[in-house]
Amino acid sequence: MDVGIVITDEEKCLVSFNPPALEIFPDLSASMKGKRVDPVFSALPCLAELTDGYQTDIEISHQGTLRYFHLQVVALRAERDRLTGWVVIFTNISERKQKETELLIADKKLQDLNASKDKFFAIIAHDLRNAFHLIINMSDMVLENIRKDDKEAAIRKARIIFETSVTTYSLLQNLLEWALIQLKSVPFKPADLSLADVVETEVKNLKTLVEQKELIVQSTIDSSLKIYGDREMLKTVLRNLISNAIKYSHPGGMIRINAAINKGLAAVEVSDEGIGMTSEEKDKLFKIENYFSKKGTASENGTGLGLKLCKEFIRMHGGDIWVTSETGKGSTFYFTVPASNRPLLQ
């Protein structure tokens, strides 16, 4: 039996026990039969007085390991309810207790994560509200400038409206993708892709921002390098990383995009020569519990959500994403995705 059992007479003198009982009371022995078990039971104060129907869970340390048992006390009775003895039963519940502990830890983590998400999205909602207030107010002022034929003032405010709209749209786009991930509604459709083609597409999409800062974007990715991934997800990852490199680069700087195959993974890196980050800032980038966003070198705003979205997409690929950075010396973001050994379909 896996259950430990100790049987005594009505005076608590030992009658019998089974081998599993030795796990709880190693001092039990056949020579003790007929003798009171109080010295042995003294290790458990709850057995000082035996009560019919008594139940409790106990914790016992054995060779440095904690084990848990469910204890039951049952009275043995003869005719006319005469007490004839006691049965003390120990059921090992260590596995159940371990699972309960794991569930409690998981529940605590889930509660903390939900609280962090609530805080994070409250901040995003605040940013969205402020952005729309700015757009509304500036639009009203542009109308007033046009009415007064103040063209220069109207152009300045229209530029602010444009820049705010671009940032807000980016935030909404990231927020929608993040929400779909949480709802498990984002279809993951991996295929064999040319990494160079995906990079080239996103660099072209960001051409206007690159030209505004007179930056040079240099990609050394070989056209033959193939990866196995979801095109749309990887476009989102590269768009966020390259746009961040643009945002935090000084005018006239260079952005480099490289990749190499190592042990079946394509390791991609996007580096800039911009303002860089402190260790504290780096620690906040990919964690949902930390909202982090700072202005670019031309006072561009960030969404605070893009890199967290990148982490989710890379995780779905079975890869990893990280950053190295030094204040004043730029940043390099790395991510890994599966490489493909199959030829691309033409």
Same domain, 165 and 222: no
pLDDT digits (tens, 9 = 90+) for 141-150: 999 999 999 9
Same domain, 212 and 225: yes
Domain of residue 41, residue span: 4-92
Same domain, 240 and 324: yes
Q: How many domains does the chain have?
A: 3
**Boundary of a domain, candidates 158, 186, 214:** 186
Same domain, 198 and 306: yes
Looking at residue 344, what is its pLDDT? 47
Q: How far apart are CA 125 and CA 303, in angstroms?
A: 11
Q: Does 346 score more than 70 pLDDT?
A: no
**Boundary of a domain, candidates 162, 186, 210:** 186
The CA dihedral of 193, 195, 197, 198, to the nearest 10 degrees, is: 90
3-class SS of residue 27: coil
Q: How far apart are CA 150 and CA 236, in angstroms?
A: 40
Looking at residue 188, what is its pLDDT? 86
Q: How far apart are CA 216 and CA 273, in angstroms?
A: 11
**Boundary of a domain, candidates 186, 206, 226:** 186
Same domain, 196 and 57: no
Same domain, 278 and 302: yes
Residues 207-211: contacts with CB within 8 Å, 24+ apart?
209/243, 209/246, 210/246, 210/255
Q: How far apart are CA 23 and CA 46, in angstroms?
A: 17
Same domain, 126 and 179: yes
Looking at residue 342, what is its pLDDT? 53
Distance of CA 131 to the CA centre of its chain: 29
pTM attached to this predicted model: 0.56
Where are the alpha helices (H) located in 148-230, listed in sequence order?
151-182, 195-205, 207-212
Gap between the terminal Cα atoms of the chain: 67
**More confident position, 253 or 209:** 253
